[in-house]
Structure formats: C-alpha cells, structure tokens
C-alpha cells in the first residue's frame, strides 16, 4: 500500500470514528402505561374520548390474526372485555370519528376497521359496540389479483364543509395509480351504506401502503408508501386527485409506518410517524411537513399509533399518545412527554 493510500485510509477511519463518537443516543421515553397482552399480534390503535367522563375514555387496538379481535383498553391498560370484539378474520387498522350526524336528531361515534381475510371493512357505533354494517362492506371486489382485494389501512374523514363522513381504505397491494379508495358513508332511515366516490393515490411499488391518517381540520390525507416516503393528498374529493407533497423518505431507516397527527390552533402541530426498523419515531411540522427531530419511545417495531391532545385524567393531563409495541401490547404516554416543539 502506498503512503498516499495509507494516509487516505487513515483519514477515512478517523472521520468515521469521530462521527460515531459524536452521535449521541436518543434519550429513551418510558411509557406511563403498558397494556395487558393480546392473544396474537397487535397492530393499530384508535382512541375514543368519553367527553362526559374523560377518565372513562377507551383505547381500541387491533390484534391481527385469523382468530383476531379489536381489543378495548381502559386508561390503565386493562382489557375491557364487554367492549372487545372477537372472532374477526385478521383485522388490520382501526379509526374513530365522533359526533357524526346519523339523522336529524341523533349523533353517534363511529369506529371503522378493515377485516382483511373477509375482504371488507366493518363499522360499529361506540361505546355501545353496535354493528352498523350488517356483517361488513366488501371492498376492492372488482380486482382480479387477490392481493389487490385485501384491505389493510383505513382512516375516517369528517368533512368540515358539511359534516359528511368518508372512509379511505388501502390494501395489501395495488396499482401505481388509484391505490386508495374513498367511500362516502351514508345514513338513511337508520341504515348505513357506502358509496365509492373516487380512486386515487400514487404507489411506488416498493412494499405496501398500510398507515393512513387524515387531518380533518386542514383537509389533508397522509399515507405511508413504505420504504419510499409519506404522501399527502386533499381529503375532499372535490379538491382533485393531484398529489400535494411527497416527503420524509430519507429520514427513515427503512419502513415509514404508523401516522399520528397532533393538531394545534390553525396550521400548527406535528405529524408523528413510526420509523419502524430504527424503533423510533420521526416528527414533522404539520404546517410545512419539514422534518423536525427523531424521538425514542422505547417501543419495538411499531406499526400503528394514535393521539389525542386533550386532558383525560391525572396521568394523561396533556393528552394521550398510543403506540403499538411488538410484544402483543400497546404503550400509553402523556403527550407532553414526547417533547414536541417547532
């Protein structure tokens, strides 16, 4: 080896060594509550706020298996068996919207989730856990390829324009264009129906699209095109199908996964996305979508997460952030512990 080559090699080694020494490990944020275990494989949570008694709020979470379930947990992480839905065929993602007008005199809270092996989505009213779907609404049934028919991600959108409720659904695989389907949820004489209003959304083809989240107030849909980036679209069908932005790709170790939106006044707030293989979360500005920082919440291989920014009890006095943990459970955090700031 020549002197010049040796010198270059030494410089590279020192540079890498110094860089490694200057990389500080992220501080670890421990959960306030760890839930009881599910039977199989946790995936995605959704939070229901009891506005009359916030300390009686419920966290629902999927357990994805052929013998799957939607588990209900109290704020101490204990399973509420009377609110848990069992006997499901691989439920995947779940979402909730509250204060939905069903008729002239009735407002209800609605939970939606995908049931992959039955190729359908389910709708229940909560907290009475009453099915609204007569056993389920089939989706993607015009597709010939099996993976194109298997629903995975779901998010609800309550339109600030007229109060309409929509369900945006993703799947295990799909085309380069029109990967997502958006359905309008209609209520007629106490009966619920779904109407397909559009097919939209680009897909890189690199892995799959599962995590979907909607910012109702700003009218934006975000979804994780895994290994590629976070895509942003208008939630109102009348606003068109052009992609608004693609961001975040290089900030993830590999899969960008679960998405939670911390909405503050106006356009302020944060978008928190699971950096799955790094076992951390990336935080982006809600207003600009710029990367802000990475945080370590001590979860393993997080698929899904959810958040509410209101006081629930003395433990979650600033709000509640819930993240799936790859040990058949979910972690609960007081929102303030995430240290979110612009």
pLDDT of residue 38: 98
Task: Give the number of other Cβ atoms within 10 Å of residue 83's Cβ.
Answer: 19
pLDDT of residue 342: 59
211: nearest Cα among 331, 303, 326, 329: 303
Give the class (CATH, top level) of 26-338. Answer: mainly beta
Q: Which residues pair with 59 in a beta bridge?
A: 47, 73
59: nearest Cα among 71, 43, 42, 41: 71
Specify the residue for token string 């049934």. Answer: 141
Asked whether the beta carbons of 265 and 6 are under 8 A apart, the reply is no
What pTM does this model have? 0.92
Please say if the pLDDT value at position 19 is more than 80: no
- pLDDT tier for residue 20 given thresholds of 50, 70 and 90: very low
Which phi and psi angles does 21 have, rounded to 5°? -70, -30
Write the pLDDT tens digit of every residue in 89-136.
Answer: 999 999 999 999 987 768 999 999 999 999 999 999 999 999 999 999
Asked whether the beta carbons of 169 and 120 are under 8 A apart, the reply is no
Asked whether the beta carbons of 42 and 325 are under 8 A apart, the reply is yes
Write the pLDDT tens digit of every residue in 254-307.
Answer: 999 999 999 999 999 999 999 999 999 999 999 999 999 999 999 999 999 999
Q: Diameter of the chain by CA atoms? A: 86
């Amino acid at each position: 080896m020549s002197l010049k080559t040796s010198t270059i090699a030494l410089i590279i080694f020192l540079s890498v060594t110094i860089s490694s020494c200057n990389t500080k490990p992220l501080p670890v944020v421990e959960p306030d509550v760890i839930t009881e275990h599910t039977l199989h494989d946790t995936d995605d949570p959704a939070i229901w706020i009891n506005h009359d008694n916030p300390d009686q709020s419920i966290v629902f979470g999927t357990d994805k298996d052929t013998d799957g379930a939607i588990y209900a947990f109290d704020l101490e992480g204990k399973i509420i068996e009377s609110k848990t839905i069992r006997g499901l065929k691989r439920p995947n993602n779940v979402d909730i919207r509250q204060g939905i007008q069903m008729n002239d005199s009735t407002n209800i809270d609605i939970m939606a989730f995908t049931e992959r092996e039955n190729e359908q989505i389910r709708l229940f009213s909560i907290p009475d856990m009453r099915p609204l779907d007569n056993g389920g609404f089939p989706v993607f049934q015009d597709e010939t390829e099996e993976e194109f028919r298997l629903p995975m991600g779901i998010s609800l959108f309550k339109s600030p324009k007229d109060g309409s409720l929509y369900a945006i659904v993703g799947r295990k695989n799909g085309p380069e264009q029109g990967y997502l389907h958006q359905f309008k949820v209609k209520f007629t004489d106490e009966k619920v129906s779904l109407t397909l209003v559009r097919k939209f959304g680009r897909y890189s083809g690199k892995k799959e699209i599962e995590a979907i989240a909607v910012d109702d107030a700003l009218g934006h849909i975000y979804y994780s095109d895994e290994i590629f980036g976070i895509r942003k679209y208008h939630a109102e069908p009348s606003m068109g199908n052009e992609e608004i932005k693609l961001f975040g790709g290089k900030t993830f170790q590999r899969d960008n996964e679960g998405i939670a939106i911390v909405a503050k006044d106006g356009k302020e707030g944060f978008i928190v996305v699971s950096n799955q293989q790094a076992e951390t979360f990336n935080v982006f500005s809600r207003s600009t979508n710029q990367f802000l920082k990475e945080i370590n919440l001590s979860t393993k291989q997080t698929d899904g997460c959810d958040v509410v920014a209101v006081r629930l009890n003395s433990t979650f006095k600033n709000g509640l952030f819930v993240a799936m943990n790859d040990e058949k459970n979910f972690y609960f955090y007081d929102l303030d512990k995430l240290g979110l700031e612009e």
